[in-house]
Amino acid sequence: MSLDFGPAVALSCRECGTRYPLGPSFACQECFGPLEAAYSFGEVTRAQIESGPANIWRYRSLLPVPADVASKPNMNPGWTKLVKAGNLGQALGIKSLYVKDDSGNPTHSFKDRVVAMAVEAARNFGFHTLSCSSTGNLAGAVTAAAARAGLDACVFIPANLEQAKIAMARVFGGKLIGIEGTYDDVNRFCSELIGDPLGDKWGFTNINLRPYYAEGSKTLAYEIAEQLGWRLPEQIIIPIASGSQLTKIDKGFKELVTLGLVEDTPYKIFGAQAAGCSPVSTAYKAGHDVVQPVKPNTIAKSLAIGNPADGPYVLDIARRTGGGVEDVTDPEIVAAIKLLASTEGIFAETAGGVTVGVLKKLVETGQLDPEAETVVLNTGDGLKTLDAITDDAKPTAVIRPSLDAFRATV
């Protein structure tokens, strides 16, 4: 079988550095550390990137994908808006604020980016079924991408997910299996299935395809830098579920610097969690290097991973960059969703409420510089988590169809 992963040349252990051939592997045989794609980049210029398509494949020379990836059936996500958020910035007292709004992706969350990588890996390995363990958004992204790519799909979720996310995952076809328990229970089940004949020729996007899948998050870093005029933001707030998105954005920024595509300027990375599932925030505040697992209890179900695989790496990055990790309560999440919507016309799902809520808290507690250029991520569409704002699901007033009635109301 001939493999084509473009500039990716090996898998490398993040802990001990041991290298392995490119394959459907995710853990080091020496130390059980996580594997990630290692590259041999050729010359990459801004002009080459800018001449590419208006999606993540403009960065194909920096990703584990073949050069002809744009010609294959894929969801082609990315190049979402970087919104200059002057109204929100004024409300929070931030001089220069942007919202990277990833709700504009094909299935309305950033997960389309990572799944696009996994689809190409699945093709390389000759897999016939695309699968995942999911807190919701990934399930919909996988079933949609599988449908486009002509692959079978079977995805696994906690049985108590938001109905909108369940409906979205089902509409694209494939099988959707609810598991009694938390996301961590679902993920353990999927890990067992990989070693069973039932899972033969299955590509689990966030398990045996994880080294390739995770690289999709780097495209957020690339886009933000390019959309800012080829420079790094001074501060960025990123939601934490497994923590992979945050670590890969940092990796993306560093790659841009190494390749000479942006100036090497300092940036601070802040992680955002819901208080009902905040193991990384708790560890950060306590000065610990180890993340203690918790049982999630929050409306931010897309971030409800009680044992985040990349938690320790998030701590390292937050401390190295001078950022931090903070958390907000469910009422603060709802208030932040409404604040973003009423100031910028962006309806975020609960994960976006977490990042905006944490942004507000960071300013109020003096952890974030209000004079520095700041980017906050919204990773999904609020229509997926309508249950969070059901109190507003009614008219401001109900009146008779007459001007007198309207005058009396307003």
- For the chain, the structural domain boundaries read 82-108+215-388
Percentage of the chain lying above the pLDDT 70 cut = 100
Crossing angle between the packed helical segments 350-364 and 330-344, to the nearest 10 degrees: 90
Percent of the chain with pLDDT strictly greater than 90:
92
Tens of pLDDT, residues 61-82? 999 999 999 999 999 999 999 9
Given a cut of 90, whether residue 132 has pLDDT beyond it is yes
Kindly compute the dihedral angle of the four CA atoms of residues 57, 208, 168, 334, in this order, to the nearest 10 degrees.
-90
The residue assigned the tokens 């808290």 is: 361
pLDDT at 262 over 70: yes
Mean of per-residue pLDDT scores for the chain: 96
Residue 239 has a CB neighbour count (10 Å cut-off) of 27
Cα–Cα distance, 392 to 395 (Å, whole number): 8
Mean of the pLDDT values across residues 114-135? 96
pTM, entire model: 0.95
- What DSSP line would sit under 105-169, residue for residue? STTSBTHHHHHHHHHHHHHHHT--EEEEE-SSHHHHHHHHHHHHHT-EEEEEEETT--HHHHHHH
Q: Convert the pLDDT of each residue in 9-67 to its tens digit.
A: 999 999 999 999 999 999 999 999 999 999 999 999 999 999 999 999 999 999 999 99
Compute the average pLDDT of residues 188-207: 92
> What are the two backbone dihedrals, phi and then psi, of residue 369, each rounded to the nearest 5 degrees?
-80, 110
CATH among 1.20.120.1080, 3.40.30.10, 3.40.50.1100, 1.20.1290.10 for 82-108+215-388 = 3.40.50.1100
**Strand order across the beta sheet in which 19-20 lies:** 19-20, 8-13, 35-39
Q: Given this model, what pLDDT does residue 136 score?
A: 86
Averaged pLDDT, 115-133:
96
Cite the beta strand spans of 220-373 per DSSP E.
235-239, 268-274, 324-328
Residue 121: pLDDT above 70?
A: yes
Query: pLDDT digits over 231-248, tens only?
Result: 999 999 999 999 999 999
Residue 156 clears pLDDT 90, i.e. is over it = yes
As a dihedral over the C-alpha atoms of residue 156, residue 157, residue 163, residue 166, rounded to 10 degrees, the angle is -20
* Packed helices 137-149 and 111-125: angle between N→C axes, nearest 10 degrees: 40
**pLDDT of 1 over the 70 cut:** no
Cβ 299 vs Cβ 384: under 8 Å: no
Backbone phi, psi, residue 30, to 5°: -90, -45
